[in-house]
Amino acid sequence: MATHYLITCEHGGNRVPARYRALFAGSGDALSTHRGYDPGALALARDMAGALAAPLIVSTVSRLLVDLNRSPGHPRLHSEAVRHAPAALRREIVERCYRPYRARAEAAVAAVVARGGRVIHVSSHSFTPVLDGAVRNADVGLLYDPARPGEVALCRAWQRALASHVPTLRVRRNYPYRGVSDGLCAWLRRRFPPGAYVGVELEINQKHVFPGGAPWRGLRRALVGALVEALHGASDG
């Protein structure tokens, strides 16, 4: 079975299309924080896609308009600024900004599966170092479904490879979120069997992103190098 790769980034930017900017009047500051997007996630997604020669599907529309990593009907699909907008406007936002992205991701997987292949999908994200006063105790999180062997194997191999590349890096599995929580990977798992689809969400602590410069570039190289190493190990095995 041929293996193909897919990289996505659901929270790559904090852009709000002009027709919806009035919804955020007076709340522009939130758009520039972790609430508006995932700092660093887009750069890392591009690095991974380049290293793997993989298709890259990204959105730079702010998650505060519509969260592409949430399923329809999820209470946090929209932020409070949008949640109280007229229903017709919310439906329009979903049709214009949400459904095309989800459809593109699903179609990319379906095309490979229809040819008898397998897709390894990495969804690139980042997380704030402190949330509601609690410090997040990880540098990197690898989120997956423990019931899907391919995802377990990839995350274990990626964690081992990172330990050899950057021994001081604290890498945790299914942290700071559970891999089975609502998200794009979980949504795709319901559509494709474990043998055809492997979906992992990568979470990077934003404390490594904000300083930028050589340390951030070095961490991205280590993350991508470890991923390539883990994937090659899996294919060799």
**Reported pTM:** 0.96
Angstrom distance (rounded) from CA 130 to CA 109? 34
Number of folded domains in the chain?
A: 1
Placement of tokens 């979906």 in the chain: 199
Is the Cβ–Cβ distance between 107 and 8 less than 8 Å?
Answer: no
Asked if 58 and 12 touch (Cβ cutoff 8 Å), the reply is yes
Q: Is 124 in a helix, a strand, or coil?
A: strand
CA distance 78 to 64: 6
Instruction: For residue 164, give the 3-state DSSP assignment.
Output: helix
For residue 122, the one-letter residue type is V
Q: How far is CA 216 from the centre of its chain?
A: 18
Side-chain-facing half-sphere of 65: CA atoms under 13 Å: 30
Please list the pLDDT of the chain residue by residue as tens digits (237 residues): 899 999 999 999 999 999 999 999 987 689 999 999 999 999 999 999 999 999 999 999 999 999 999 999 999 999 999 999 999 999 999 999 999 999 999 999 999 999 999 999 999 999 999 999 999 999 999 999 999 999 999 999 999 999 999 999 999 999 999 999 999 999 999 999 999 999 999 999 999 999 999 999 999 999 999 999 999 875 544
34: containing domain = 3-236
Name the residue among 148, 147, 144, 191 with its Cα closest to residue 172. Answer: 144
Domain harbouring 90, CATH code: 3.40.630.40
